[in-house]
Amino acid sequence: MSCDGMADADPMPPATTGAALPLDVLRKICALLPPGELVLTAPRVTKALAAAAAPLAEAVRSEASRQRRVFAVPLWALQEAWPKLTAYQRELAARHAALRAASQGDVPALGWAVPRLPQGTMALFSKSFCKAAAAGGQLEALQCARALGCGWDAETSGAAVEGGHLAVLQWARAQQPPCPWDEHTCAEAAMHGHLAMLQWLRAQQPPCPWNERTCMEAARGGHLGVLQWAHAQQPPCPWDERTCTAAARNGQLAVLHWLLSQQPPCPSDRRTCAAAAAAGGHLAVLQWARAQQPPCPWDEDTCTEAAKWGQLPVLEWLRSQQPPCPWDERTCAAAAAGGHLAVLQWARAQQPPCPWGERTCTVAAERGHLGVLQWARAQQPPCPWDERTCQAAAAGGHLGVLQWARAQRPPCPWDERTCQAAAAGGHLGVLQWARAQQPPCPWDERTCEVAAFYGNMTVLRWARAQQPPCPWDVQQCFLNMERGAAAHLQWIREQAALEGVAL
């Protein structure tokens, strides 16, 4: 495939002549166009169509703005606008155009866009064009990209395998030197159930390498035929405990049954399997595992995983067994972390109730689950909390949670770690509120140090501008930010000089 002549193609705006179609038909056609074509091409056809398609075009623009993404524009529009673009705009437009063209097999657009990319951009992004072409099964686009000097790596092979594009992979591997591949290539084939692809990969000389992840991905996806073939090879594809765990986590009971029926059986951390099945909400898998002789072992992790993922029916079944699956404080904490209030309420309603501790409030605050925190504290006796609750709320930037916690009687305790957490996360509003209280939340040198370490210069400047300023170790702050922007370092130097400290 040659890209000759593509780089210098002239702008070709769409023709506006031809047999007239009813306006409603044209509008329906426009609705099926890619976003860029809809926005830019429809107004070129007729004024009536431009007016009819305007609401659709506006919806496309609004959605792109809401998602903060750039939609691809047609080649003719890019060529037409090219002379008016800045260097940065040209680089960005050509990169987006090349990526879209590669994935959609638009060879003329690819041949035009790639030669217009700066050398540095090509070094950074050219492999992504080959990967996009391979992922879309666009052999001609891949050939064009290679002819234009685009690089490739094992991700190109993996993308072709993921999409089941054997012809693309065969061409790529027939080149000199061939497109690289690695263990992930076989894993991709297994993950997507592409048995013929995997067989071809392993039939090459030398064969594409594989490892335990191939079996794990086949088990995860429930691709029993792929797994059986891989294990039947000489030597067999290796597997380990993750294979059984992946099957259990994804509810692949037939796969799990086959794995454990082999001689010798697939290695299995059977306790982990029980927890994985509980996490995935796969009650049938869990029931089967417990019905074996001896039963699949379980422990507190099993209930914790069920609670973490909001699997209330699983948790109810686990606790209904004789004897029940054990649980501990982590079960309530896991439910709170996930915002699963119904799970937490059920666990605490049992006799005796599932135990809980300060961590339940801490993780609820950390994740911003105010409703969970309020319910936990409304119980009699309330779920305990400590300074880590406020610290966690500040770390997550959850000002509403922090305000509620401090408004209680007595208020949730806090200490210097609250200000530190807000500073580390760059949550200036949280820090300002905490310091505006009477009395203010305490702070110390660590507030400035973590702000510097995480590059939160606005926080650091504000903290030092207070009266009195937040204490700091200026030398430590400088060290924490020594890889930061020059302007930030200069500001710290100036502050140090005012204090008579040499850096």
pLDDT tens digits for range 318-344: 999 999 999 999 999 999 999 999 999
Q: What pLDDT sits at residue 11? A: 47
Give the start-to-end residue ranges of the domains of the chain.
1-180, 182-268, 435-503
447/434 Cα distance (integer angstroms):
13
334/301 Cα distance (integer angstroms):
10
> 374 CB contacts (<8 Å, ≥6 apart)?
404
66/480 Cα distance (integer angstroms):
36
- Domain 182-268 fold is 1.25.40
| pLDDT tens profile 228-276 | 999 999 999 999 999 999 999 999 999 999 999 999 999 988 788 999 9
Residue 2 confidence (pLDDT) above 60:
no
> 380 CB contacts (<8 Å, ≥6 apart)?
none
Q: What is the 3-state secondary structure (H, E, C) of 416-428?
A: HHHHHHHHHHCCH
| pLDDT tens profile 484-501 | 678 788 899 989 888 888
C-alpha dihedral sign at 46, 48, 52, 58? positive
Residue 229 near residue 198, CB atoms below 8 Å: yes
> 413 CB contacts (<8 Å, ≥6 apart)?
385, 386, 387, 390
> 333 CB contacts (<8 Å, ≥6 apart)?
356, 357, 359, 360, 362, 363
Per-residue confidence band for 76, with pLDDT thresholds at 50, 70 and 90 = confident
- With pLDDT > 90 as the criterion, what percentage of the chain qualifies? 78
Mean pLDDT of 14-32: 69
Q: What is the DSSP letter of 299?
A: -
| pLDDT tens profile 289-308 | 999 988 999 999 999 999 99
> 489 CB contacts (<8 Å, ≥6 apart)?
478, 481, 482
Give the CA radius of gyration of the chain. 30
Residue found by looking up tokens 């997550």 in the block: 396
Residue 387 confidence (pLDDT) above 90:
yes
Q: What pLDDT sits at residue 450? A: 96
Residue 50 confidence (pLDDT) above 80:
no
| pLDDT tens profile 450-475 | 999 999 999 999 999 999 999 999 99
Q: What pLDDT sits at residue 469? A: 96
Torsion of CA 280, 285, 291, 297, to 10 degrees: -40
Name the token pair of 40.
């830019």
256/296 Cα distance (integer angstroms):
12
421/399 Cα distance (integer angstroms):
12
318/195 Cα distance (integer angstroms):
37
Q: Is 254 exposed, middle or buried (0-12, 13-18, 19+ CB in 10 A)?
A: exposed
Q: What pLDDT sits at residue 432? A: 98
| pLDDT tens profile 145-165 | 999 999 999 999 999 999 999
Helix residue ranges, H only, 20-153: 23-31, 35-45, 47-66, 75-81, 87-104, 107-113, 119-135, 139-147
Name the token pair of 308.
């973490």
Q: What pLDDT sits at residue 328? A: 98
Distance of CA 416 to CAs 69, 389, 441, 443, 463, Å? 40, 13, 7, 5, 13
Residue 379 confidence (pLDDT) above 80:
yes
Mean pLDDT of 21-46: 77
How many other β-carbons are positioned within 10 Å of the β-carbon of residue 268? 21
Beta strand segments in 304-369, E = none
Residue 179 confidence (pLDDT) above 60:
yes
Mean pLDDT of 200-223: 98
Closest Cα to residue 74, out of 82, 83, 66, 63? 82
Mean pLDDT of the chain: 92
Mean pLDDT of 35-58: 77
432/470 Cα distance (integer angstroms):
12
Backbone angles phi, psi at 34, to 5 degrees: -60, 155
Q: What pLDDT sits at residue 51? A: 82
Backbone angles phi, psi at 473, to 5 degrees: -105, 100
Per-residue confidence band for 74, with pLDDT thresholds at 50, 70 and 90 = confident
Mean pLDDT of 358-387: 98
Mean pLDDT of 58-87: 81
Q: Higher model confidence: residue 27 or residue 98?
A: 98
Q: What pLDDT sits at residue 497? A: 87
Closest Cα to residue 184, out of 164, 203, 157? 157
Rounded to a whole number of angstroms, the distance between the first and last alpha carbons of the chain is 60
Entry pTM: 0.80
Residue 23 confidence (pLDDT) above 90:
no
231/214 Cα distance (integer angstroms):
10
Residue 64 confidence (pLDDT) above 90:
no
Residue 318 near residue 306, CB atoms below 8 Å: yes
How many other β-carbons are positioned within 10 Å of the β-carbon of residue 480? 20
Mean pLDDT of 200-213: 98
